[in-house]
Amino acid sequence: MKRHLVSTADLGRDDALLILDTAEELSQFSGRAVKKLPTLRGRTVVNLFFEDSTRTKTSFEVAEKRLSADVINFSAKGSSVSKGESLKDTALTLQAMGADAVVIRHHASGAPARLAGSDWLHGSVINAGDGTHEHPTQALLDAFTLRRHLNPGTGRDLAGRRVAIVGDILHSRVARSNVHLLTTLGAEVVFVAPPTLLPIGIETWPCEVSYDLDSVLPKVDAVMMLRVQRERMSAAFFPTEREYSRRYGLDGTRLAKLPEHAVVMHPGPMVRGMEITAEVADSPRCTVVEQVANGVSVRMAVLYLLLGGAVFADAPADAPRTTELPEAAQ
* 56 in a known ligand binding site: yes
Quote the radius of gyration of the chain (alpha carbons, Å): 20
The Cβ of residue 164 has, within 10 Å, a number of other Cβ atoms equal to 24
* 173 in a known ligand binding site: yes
CA pseudo-torsion sign 270, 273, 274, 280: positive
* 105 in a known ligand binding site: yes
**Is 145:265 a contact under the CB 8 Å cutoff?**
yes
Q: How far, in whole angstroms, is CA 282 from its chain's centroid?
A: 22
According to DSSP, residue 227 is labeled -
The Cβ of residue 229 has, within 10 Å, a number of other Cβ atoms equal to 15
* 147 in a known ligand binding site: no
* 155 in a known ligand binding site: no
Cα separation, 247 vs 83, in Å, equals 44
* 55 in a known ligand binding site: yes
* 268 in a known ligand binding site: yes
* Residues pairing with 105 in the sheet: 49
Closest residue by Cα to residue 150 from 258, 262, 260, 225: 262
Segment (H or E) for 125: strand 124-130
* 227 in a known ligand binding site: yes
Closest residue by Cα to residue 152 from 15, 263, 268, 14: 263
CA pseudo-torsion sign 88, 91, 93, 95: negative
* 229 in a known ligand binding site: no
* 269 in a known ligand binding site: yes
Contacts of 232 (CB under 8 A, 6+ apart): 132, 171
Question: Annotated binding site for carbamoyl phosphate: which residue ranges?
Answer: 55-56, 105, 135, 138, 268-269
Question: Annotated binding site: which residue ranges?
Answer: 55-56, 83, 105, 135, 138, 173, 227, 268-269
Question: Annotated binding site for L-aspartate: which residue ranges?
Answer: 83, 173, 227
